Amino acid sequence: MRYFFIIYLLLAVLVVSIGGFRGDKFKNTPIRIFQDMDEQDRINPQQASDFFSDGLGARQPVEETVPQGLEPASIADASTQSFANDNSYYHNGMYDDQVLGTGLPIKELELTEENLPAFINRGKIVFNANCSGCHGISGNGKGVVASYGVPGVINLITSELPDGGKYDVIVNGRGNMSAFGYQIDLKDRWAIIAYLQALQYSRKAPLDLVKDAYEAGSAK
């Protein structure tokens, strides 16, 4: 019986300490065992900083900063439907809403031999910005996040998922991978697919095809 009371008392203290003071206001600075985010090192406006060699706390924006409200060119030229969904392969990577397709929807993307390299290059930029952290710059699934232990990041070079399936994973996410459909527009999603095709192809390219580039130092 004694133990029952001791446990009862401990439980009561625990419940009151966790739930009892919620919503109360305190005048004094709270004691924080785990720091909240409002408690952090920062530089106030006009404050000096010895972190930078010029001693200034206020910095210029870093190179290639995108000003708020600027529409990147790719979004500006994409149709106004660029985030819309319908049942076409172009919009959701599937035929009849269930059969995964493969290949690029060349007609809708208005791809030609001339604009294809720029399209693939656009894919590289979007891939490196959004995907390489997990999937790695070369797509081999060994990005920096994976090296910190996020399990199950897939090697996109050996992936046999059809293009439409990859497109679907970009839009809707899967498992530990979140959905990118809200932040990467239609054209850019397909640009990533085109770049993934190029990455896969580059792994299988015959040596003499890449020898010149390799010797010139452009292939790293």
- Summarize as ranges the residues that interact with ligand HEC (CB under 6 A): 130-131, 133-135, 145, 150, 152-154, 156, 159, 161, 166, 169-170, 174-177, 180, 184, 192
Minimum distance, C-beta of residue 79 to ligand HEC, in the bound complex (Å): 20
Task: Give kind and range of the element (H or E) at residue 165.
Answer: helix 163-172
What is the distance in angstroms between the CA of the first residue and the CA of the last residue of the chain?
A: 73
Q: Shortest gap between Cβ of 45 and ligand HEC (angstroms)? A: 34
Q: How far is the CB of 146 from ligand HEC (least distance, A)?
A: 8
Cβ nearer to ligand HEC, comparing 78 with 145 = 145
Nearer to ligand HEC, 25 or 204 (CB): 204
What are the tokens at 187?
Answer: 């054209």
Give, for 122, the enclosing helix (H) or strand (E): helix 116-130
Residue closer to ligand HEC by CB (options 47, 183) is 183
Strands (E), the chain: 94-95, 99-100
Q: Which CB atom, from 27 or from 204, has the smaller least distance to ligand HEC?
A: 204
Q: What value, to the nearest 5°, has the Cα angle with vertex 41 and ends 40 and 46?
A: 125
